[in-house]
Amino acid sequence: MLNSETPFNRIALAGRRNSPELFGPLSVLADFLTRRGYQVSIEAETAAIAPLSGYPVITAEALGINHDLVVVLGGDGTMLSYARRLAPFDVPLVGINQGRLGFLTDIPQVYMEVLLGDILDGHFVEEKRSMLVANVLRESGGVTPSEVQALNDIVINRGSSGAVIDLSIAIDGQFAYSLRADGIIVATPTGSTAYALSAGGPIVAPMLPVFVLVPVAPHALTHRPIIIPETAELTIVVERGNDVSLHGDSQSQIPLMQGERVTIERSPHKATLLHPSRYDYFSMLRQKLHWTETPERLRVGLDEPLF
């Protein structure tokens, strides 16, 4: 959705942890926003890495309170972390890429002032990205103390022992199939270009209300990825395996025991991402993944500019 209004006043800056390159661009952005009249705050862990004098420091937990926009400097992993935290508050995020691919942090650092300025002037594309939430049901009947939220994917896989695991999958309470494999990926459209794509899953346009189930190294040739409605509730049972874990966006981990079950469904919250007005998802695929390019075009480097 292309927006032409600018609702921003209070802006927070957050960056990648342990990044020695953070101070320079953070300082430039803070000065740029201040000169334009915005109230600028710095997230606490970001401020510890790149201390800037004269700006209020706030905790990550307070980012969603009294802020109209959060600008994230880092890679997609950094963006995933802040997206999960801010989704319950419906605070939009803008990503400045300091990583590698930059599917979510899609503004190149070299153009950050120009493109961020356009967004602040109201010229942006807004996206609401669906998320997942998982709960582990213990054999005792207990539930994990906290839900696992994910913007990219929930992954259940084997550990370092190397033994394959057996899983059974039910969709909306109906048994769907059994799986012997290294694991299974439940991905959102956002996550379809991450681990799920590496495991042979399809690319799913982010506007589609679906999730994709992708087996990891299955032991049957007939096991293929399947796309299901995002309204479905999944129940995955660990039928066999003593070294199994659940991962959310590769940033949280819960050990699973044999016999335990995991429920996965659409989160009640969505991540809000803002892109420059010329943003186009399929152009992003062509540039970042060289999607649809023939070998001879790749050789001569005919990549199109993203913006």
List, for residues 49-81, the tens digit of each pLDDT value.
888 989 999 998 899 988 999 999 999 999 999
68, 76, 243, 249: the active-site residue: 76
3-state secondary structure of 208: coil
Kindly report the CATH number assigned to the domain that includes residue 141. Answer: 2.60.200.30
**DSSP tag of 104:** S
3-state secondary structure of 221: coil
Question: 88 and 164: one domain?
Answer: no
Among 77, 104, 122, the domain-final residue is 122
Note whether residue 233 is domain-resident. Answer: yes
Question: 224 and 136: one domain?
Answer: yes
Note whether residue 226 is domain-resident. Answer: yes
Question: 138 and 247: one domain?
Answer: yes
76 is catalytic: yes
The more confident residue out of 18 and 49 is 49
Q: How confident is the model at residue 305 (pLDDT cuts 50, 70, 90)?
A: low
Give pTM, 2 decimals. Answer: 0.90
pLDDT digits (tens, 9 = 90+) for 79-120: 999 999 999 999 999 999 987 778 899 899 999 999 999 999
**Amino acid identity at 97:** N
User: In the chain, how many domains are there?
Assistant: 2
**What is the token pair recorded at 48?**
């510890």
3-state secondary structure of 217: coil
pLDDT digits (tens, 9 = 90+) for 207-249: 999 999 999 999 998 999 999 999 999 999 999 998 899 999 9
pLDDT digits (tens, 9 = 90+) for 188-214: 999 999 999 999 999 999 999 999 999
Note whether residue 147 is domain-resident. Answer: yes
pLDDT digits (tens, 9 = 90+) for 250-284: 988 899 999 999 999 999 999 999 999 999 999 88
Note whether residue 74 is domain-resident. Answer: yes
CA distance 174 to 192: 25
